[in-house]
Amino acid sequence: MLRHDDMYGKEGGRMLKDFTKMETFLTVVRERSFSRASAKLGISQPAVTQQIKFLETYLDTKIIERKKNGIRLTSAGEELYKIAVRLEKCIHEAEGDILKIINKKITFRLGTSFTIGNYVLPGECLNTLSQVINNDVKLIVEVSQKIVEGIKDHKIDLGLIEAHIADDDLVIREWREDELVVFSNVPIPKILRPEDLYEFKWVCREEGSQTRKVVQEVFEELGVACRDFNVLSEVSNTTAVLQTVKRSKKDKEHPTVSIVSYHAIAEEVQNGTLYEARLQGYTMRRKFYIVYHKDNKHNAYVNNTVDFILSGKC
């Protein structure tokens, strides 16, 4: 059992001034994994281990046991978890109160990829987010790599992107799943065999785009040679893909097709103006991610925005 003076005595008071180690402990418990906690916090796994060991040394008791399928809290760890949750709640409430006192007027810079900014975020999202953080929100729509560069240069506060970026300066968290589909402006088979793909005229994404990377990986598994496709053009973003396919000649024998997020065409598929298909035996899934600079891990505006986005309201 943790003694009252362990946490609130002279030495304990000093420890509680730095909540970082407790935050790491909470994250390990919630993620049920040291490695997932490391990814979520944006620090190395040895650093996570070191912080947990510090707590155990400080308290002179074991709080976490590693298991093959995750972790298990000791009785002392269970007790510490309850205390840490209470502290976390108090800190979050205090941050909100401080922001009200400061009433700091900023423009929060939210960067998104073209697909996310134009087709995934609901129209009312930015207005609601503005109310949540009590400040204006500026939306910056760019390719994922440009969003990341803006975050690293402190020109963007938080990004929503289509690629997992491994970078020690960044915190990256999974947000939601996306599915890529083949689509055309004329009816095409709902399920496409690899040999069907050679019958189409293609509008492709440019080299380096995240969509193209996902598609290339799937095509390689299917044994499909893209170099043998009839490629009409390569374009730089989802909007350009949509407009090019929609304006193409409606050729039922050799339809013009491309691949985009289902979010981008869902409404027009329902209206019957566009037609979608999937690859036989494959589902082209990818993740969307939340990313921000590790310097902003304790930024109340960033934390409130992340919580809002992960709540499913955006």
pLDDT tens digits for 205-264?
988 788 888 899 999 999 998 889 999 999 988 999 999 999 999 999 999 999 999 999
Fold matches, 107-175+287-310 and 178-286: yes
Look at residue 17 in the predicted model and tell me its pLDDT: 60
How does the average pLDDT of the chain come out, rounded? Answer: 88
What is the CA 299 to chain-centroid distance, rounded?
A: 18
The residue written with tokens 């949509």 in the block is 242
> At residue 4, does pLDDT exceed 60?
no
Look at residue 135 in the predicted model and tell me its pLDDT: 85
The CA-to-CA distance between both ends of the chain, in Å, stands at 42
**What span, in angstroms and rounded, lies between the C-alpha atoms of 110 and 138?**
6
Instruction: Give the CA dihedral 166, 170, 175, 176, nearest 10 degrees.
Output: -30
Q: Which of 67-76, 181-190, 278-287 has the highest mean pLDDT?
A: 181-190
CB-based burial, 95-126: b 16+ in 10 Å, e otherwise: beeebeeeeeeeebbbbbbbbbbbbbbeeebb
**What span, in angstroms and rounded, lies between the C-alpha atoms of 150 and 142?**
10
Q: Which CATH architecture has domain 178-286?
A: 3-Layer(aba) Sandwich (3.40)
Which is nearest to 85 in space by CA: 42, 26, 126? 26
For residue 2, what is the DSSP state?
A: -
Superfamily of domain 107-175+287-310: Periplasmic binding protein-like II (3.40.190.10)
Look at residue 5 in the predicted model and tell me its pLDDT: 47
What is the CA 16 to chain-centroid distance, rounded?
A: 31
Which is nearest to 300 in space by CA: 161, 127, 82, 134? 134
pTM of the model: 0.68
pLDDT digit string (tens) for 294-304?
A: 999 888 889 88
Look at residue 100 in the predicted model and tell me its pLDDT: 59
- The full set of domain ranges for the chain reads 4-102, 107-175+287-310, 178-286
Look at residue 49 in the predicted model and tell me its pLDDT: 94
Lowest mean pLDDT among 86-100, 122-136, 193-207, 276-290: 86-100
pLDDT digit string (tens) for 42-74?
A: 888 999 999 999 999 999 999 999 988 889 999
> At residue 3, does pLDDT exceed 60?
no
Look at residue 202 in the predicted model and tell me its pLDDT: 97
In this prediction, residues 22-34 reach a mean pLDDT of 92
Q: Please state which CATH class domain 4-102 belongs to.
A: mainly alpha
Which is nearest to 117 in space by CA: 167, 77, 158, 68? 158
